[in-house]
Amino acid sequence: MEKDSSLYCISAWNDQGYSHSCKDPRKLYRVETMPGLGWLLKKKLFKDELEKQWPSSDKQWYWDMWMRLPTVRKNRECIIPDVSRTYHFGSKGLNMNPYLQEVYFKKHSIVNESNVALKDLDRITADKYEVMINEILKSGVVVDHSNDPCDSGLVPDNKDTVHVMYIQMPHPTDFTTWKQLAKCYHLWDLDVRGFHKSMWRLYLNGTPVILVGVPASPYHSHKPDSVKPFVLEEPSKKAKAQ
């Protein structure tokens, strides 16, 4: 963190790290969202910046939601693991009930081994991470975009090569297609998390997958001209259109 001023925090939690959507305990990602649930930040960041504006007790703010505000985060990113190091086990609380625990937290994975040697740790700083992602996309396998993006057979089982999906995303805050895919893949869909420059990294069928928003993400330059991005509409809008 001392070497990279673009970092906001380092978290032990991956919002999309379910048992079916993560795999490699050595892998790290950069994301534009603050996951919480076990995290650290630089003392200097807290003392010089955050503490001075921390919401007082009379403000109706949850600290984590406040930390996620764009005006507070200031475009800084967090490092997260592919497989979480923490686990959410509480099913009752101010913002929690048994249903949410069952659907959104119970099936989260947690590392069950010690002394894990982190992968590409020297490439997690901002500049080097961009080089790495572009290398991965350049060598990745583009899935068949003529198929249904929710088809479980779209991504092959247990391959080492990264498979790439391009989804419609006209601008960085248009998450329409992503939200529907998150539901299809049984990921976190209560709000949008875990992205980096309109791109998500996860596992499907045991195979590493990168989803790139087109044209919002700068990585869309890797998309072959013949590939038409996946488009999924909200059910209510689709029904009205019919």
In three state form, how does the secondary structure of the chain look? CCCCCCEEEEECCCCCCECCCCCCCCCEEEECCCCCCCEECCHHHHHHHHHHHCCCCCCCCCHHHHHCCHHHHCCCEEEEECCCCCCCCCCCECCECHHHHHHHHCCECCCCCCCCCCCCHHHCCHHHHHHHHHHHHHHCEECCCCCCCCCCCCCCCCCCCCEEEEEEECCCCCCHHHHHHHHHCCCCCCCCCCECCCEEEEEECCEEEEEEEEECCHHHHHCCCCCCCECCCCHHHHHHHC
Given the residues 24, 64, 148, 157, select the one marked as catalytic: 64
122 is catalytic: no
Catalytic site positions: 64
